[in-house]
Structure 1
């Protein structure tokens, strides 16, 4: 019974703290001298940013 409650609590916490704007994004960091280049493995979007701080929003092109 306690395992079931723990599992339910885990799902609720993931639902609360997950960011739907970047749910499908999987960022890969390529460090450079002045920061980092971030590439999304899922959609191929690229951006420049700070080393160690992945983008917080999805940058893929909206599809009609």
Structure 2
């Protein structure tokens, strides 16, 4: 019973503290020199940014 309560609490904490702006985004990095091309496999949005640092907001609605 204690394990079940712990799992429920863990899922609630993840839901509360996760970044809602990028919750559905799944970024893939394609390195190109010191910059990278980032593509979201969920919605197809693309952007460029520093190598190793995923975008911090969803780009789905920006065209």
- The root-mean-square deviation of aligned C-alpha atoms, in Å, is 1.2
Q: Which runs of 4+ in 1 moved over 2 A?
A: none
Higher helix share: 2
Gaps of 5+ in 2: none
Give TM-score scaled by structure 2 length.
Answer: 0.87
Aligned to 1:8: 8
Gaps of 5+ in 1: none
Give TM-score scaled by structure 1 length.
Answer: 0.86
